[in-house]
Amino acid sequence: MRRIYLAAWFVGGFLFLGLIALILTNSDQIGMQQTFPFTDNIERLEQKEMDHVLADDLSMTTSMFLSQLSLQLDRWAEQDKSDQQLQKEFAKEVREHPHFHAFTIVENGKMSETVGNIRQERLKQLRYQHGDLSFSDPYKINGEDYFIIGKKLEENKMVAGEIDLTFVKHFIKDMASVADANGNFFVSGQDPDVQWKTTKDLPKGASAQTVPELGWQIVVHSDLKKGEEQHYIDGQAVIKLNDNENSEAWIEQQDDLSLIKNNDPYYIVESATKSTDQLLNELSNHPDVEFVEPNFLFTKQAKGTIPNDEFFQPYQWNLSQISAEEGWEVTEGSQGTTIAVLDTGVDPKHLDLKGKVLEGFNAFDGTNNSIDQHGHGTHVAGIAAAISNNVTGIAGIAWQNNILPVKVLNEKGEGSSFEVARGIRWAVDNGAKVINMSLGDYHNSYILHDAIKYAHQNDVVLIAASGNDNVGDPMYPAEYEEVLTVAATDDKRERAFFSNYGNHVDVSAPGEHIPSLFPNNNYVIMSGTSMAAPHVAGLAGLIRSINPELSNDEVYELITSTAIDLGENGHDPFYGAGEINVGNALKQLAN
């Protein structure tokens, strides 16, 4: 993977994140340059297989989105609006909803309790039926896309809403195009080669999936960059000097060398005239320099106690597969055991995270602004520790554990070894007991390994995604022995086809078609080892909630020894010790 990738696929790797805003997305491409996201050396994967998985993710996300819209219509139809104050509160709630543009109840053809400007003639466009739901084709208002959804309440009575689809364009970006039930494309990317008008224009072999409720067709188009992608920031280097006390002064004395970032004892320096190779050659021979390396780029990589969360039973097969319900009978976690998520940041206002996201850190600018502008980090955090048994949304692994957001990847899901190392050290110094890293790169980094060793020496449990390129080449930090490395499985307990393998893989966890959170109270489905890793981070959080005295190595041993052996007997390069089992691990610890 180039840079640090998010371990989740993002939809290309699967970055997509869902078709529709609610959206459970399929991808987890994020990382140090992306730290494993969807792309993890996409050239090494069968792109058609990846596109197929992405199309599935987008279709399922859209279906989930429709399910959420249907539930919201039910709630509003039943809501008490008996007096003027309640009517005002109801109208305010509708207007502030991220997807509903207007709402009405229709009885015997007449509209009542209407909020927003919904036109009577639009209701006549509800021509597609699926169960008790009906839908219109998409249409434009002032250049923006909308459609109508209706739900039958009883004979001659229905509730309907006008839905704003601009979020579809936002999530799909350049990853896919969407055609309506008539085969006309209404969402597409910017690439002139994929500006199709109808499905008749599709090239042979295009990866597509149909949304069963709507009849919409989602067509994935790969957007691979040609040629070898650079894995470091040109003209920059990360250095450590023998004389740490006078490092800045030393840098100022050097010709053609400027200080870009200071994270004592590490410094990013830049030359205005020299390439990275020239800079490395020059500085590596300088007696005052202890070490020098490129500033590598990272990217993202998109039964027992039964919670009542609305998406748990229909979508979260992943938690049942690892016996999370049995584990929750032992513990639901503890606020005293903090899980740090090193990623694109986290949305602290999401309803399934609100109140449990601590003040975080931005490794790019040194502030506490750790807001997620990408989505990968929020998805990862939700898998590990979403608020559970609260009716809303999904269930997380560690119900009670707090999340410490550390932004080491930007809005594109990219960062460098410097930010990741800085983020690790900050998380350790600010109380993290578990660190999840759904990101990675194929280049070994001194500064990264030094930070990893610092965390391990301070007894922090370190979890990393193996990568999404279906190769045996080790990624970093996954390769480091101080880290518990996670590969991905599917709903048949088979290796996810994209999951990297090797003797450094310690365990596996579900990583294909995983529902979780997305900024602005949305939900998406994503795939990738980025999704597998936070399952293990959540389990580590539960383990340390029961017994905080266990060392990080003892936590590793408990997780691996209680895993369900898959593949060849014993440890193997595809599953490690096997797929984690929350019930087995926590029951053994409790006993």
Active-site residue list: 343, 376, 530
DSSP state of 5: B
Q: How far apart are CA 201 and CA 87, in angstroms?
A: 48
Residue 386 contacts residue 357 (beta carbons within 8 Å) = no
Reference 441, options 292, 236, 296; nearest CA is: 296
- 376 three-class SS: helix
What contacts 304, CB < 8 A, 6 or more positions away? 323, 325, 326, 327, 328, 329, 583
Reference 518, options 395, 371, 374; nearest CA is: 374
Q: Which residues of 230-245 are buried (b: 16+ CB within 10 A; e: fewer)?
A: ebbbebbbbbbbeeee
Residue 230 contacts residue 411 (beta carbons within 8 Å) = no
Angle at 465 between CA 438 and CA 6, to 5 degrees: 35
Report CA 444 to chain centroid distance, whole Å: 24
Residue 448 contacts residue 479 (beta carbons within 8 Å) = no
Q: How far apart are CA 290 and CA 331, in angstroms?
A: 47
Q: How far apart are CA 229 and CA 236, in angstroms?
A: 16
Q: How far apart are CA 207 and CA 263, in angstroms?
A: 45
Q: How far apart are CA 105 and CA 364, in angstroms?
A: 49
Place of tokens 């006078």: 246
Place of tokens 């597409």: 188
Q: Give CA torsion, residues 243, 249, 255, 258, to 10 deg.
A: 100
Asked whether the CA dihedral 490, 492, 497, 500 is positive or negative, the reply is: positive
Distance of CA 322 to CAs 27, 372, 397, 489, 533, Å? 21, 28, 10, 11, 13
Number of H helices, E strands in the chain: 15, 26
Q: How far apart are CA 166 and CA 332, in angstroms?
A: 38
Give the amino acid at 186: F
Residue 498 contacts residue 469 (beta carbons within 8 Å) = yes
What element of type H or E holds 268?
Answer: strand 266-270
Residue 519 dihedral angles phi and psi, to the nearest 5°? -50, 155
Two tokens, residue 264: 């004592």
Q: How far apart are CA 201 and CA 217, in angstroms?
A: 13
Report CA 496 to chain centroid distance, whole Å: 17
Reference 519, options 171, 218, 220; nearest CA is: 171
